[in-house]
Amino acid sequence: MKAVGICGSDVHYLREMRIAHFVVKEPMVIGHECAGVIEEVGAGVTHLTVGDRVALEPGVSCWRCRHCKGGRYNLCPDMKFFATPPFHGSLANQVVHPGDLCFKLPDGVSLEEGAMCEPLSVGVHACRRAGVGPETGVLVVGAGPIGLVTLLAARAFGAPKVVIVDVDDHRLSVATSLGADATVKVSTRAEDLESEVERIQAAMGSEIDVSLDCAGFSKTMSTALEATRPGGKVCLVGMGHNEMTLPMTSAAAREVDVVGVFRYKDTWPLCIDFLRTGKVDVKPLITHRFGFSQRDVEEAFEVSARGRDAIKVMFNL
């Protein structure tokens, strides 16, 4: 391993020792956003050689169930995923991983960028699920790390206009620097929803075809549902609340489709191509870098958990 990013789920596991029904019951290595250099290959691996720089897709599916055979392997019930209990993650000096989940990086793409393929994949998968394209006006709700990579992905998919909303001024300024056409600061108060939707629609200047909720709270999902045009689509990306109270009848009456995403599937080749061609630049998202000493690891997780100006915290091993 040479580059490993910290995800919000890593911080959550460290603090709470569980996410939903995934419970840490014994010591577990965390980390799943990663890239490294091939040190050894098995006899059946012919597309990689020692010394190749690769980005790793972190989930190993069974390839036998109906989901895998149908091409939606991200839904595999027997998925072995880095740093999802009980499976160890990749914040380690070495890992062993299937060759077909190791993707060679072009010369112009760094190992840090390779590690960023993982969060970028979430945005790419969301844009695919939502049908984002050159005629799609896109609203991104939430300007955290996933919201920002979703903004970049929407741009790469050809979205002509992207509006992003958040409660934090700094995150919105970052979104502007990354190419958002407009930003809208919102509150956490449900009573502000109606006026905020009006401001969001005014900022778009035309109908909102697709809304991508990258936070996943009752307020953010309600915002997405109410702001999206009749016949449009809302994609739930974030998983902030397990249960929500939402204006579903209003959305149904306008035939607003709701889709969900879980991780990603078959995204690494496209992500690497986006990075190689310059369609996506993830480098500005990497705000903090640390080594791999005990002190570095502790400080890195403290910085990531604090948030503030930290977007993506990266380990250089």
> What are the b/e assignments for 283-295, b being 16+ CB within 10 Å?
eebbbbebeeeee
Whole-angstrom distance, CA of residue 101 vs CA of residue 60: 8
> pTM, whole model, 2 decimals?
0.96
| pLDDT (mean) for 65-88 | 97
pLDDT at 312: 97
pLDDT beyond 90 at 242: no
Whole-angstrom distance, CA of residue 167 vs CA of residue 141: 10
pLDDT at 19: 85
- Regarding whether 86 and 193 lie in a shared domain, the answer is no
- Regarding whether 250 and 275 lie in a shared domain, the answer is no
Tokens, residue 212:
């991508």
By percentage, how much of the chain surpasses pLDDT 90? 94
- Regarding whether 155 and 253 lie in a shared domain, the answer is yes
Domain boundaries, position 19: 3-120+264-316
Q: Which residues contact 44 (CB under 8 A, 6 or more apart)?
A: 99
User: Tens digits of per-residue pLDDT, 49-73?
Assistant: 999 999 999 999 999 999 999 999 9
- Regarding whether 305 and 281 lie in a shared domain, the answer is yes
Q: How many domains does the chain have?
A: 2
- Regarding whether 268 and 203 lie in a shared domain, the answer is no
Task: Specify whether the CB–CB gap between 293 and 187 falls below 8 A.
Answer: no
- Regarding whether 231 and 151 lie in a shared domain, the answer is yes
pLDDT beyond 90 at 20: no
Query: Of 230, 260, 290, which marks where a domain is finished?
Result: 260
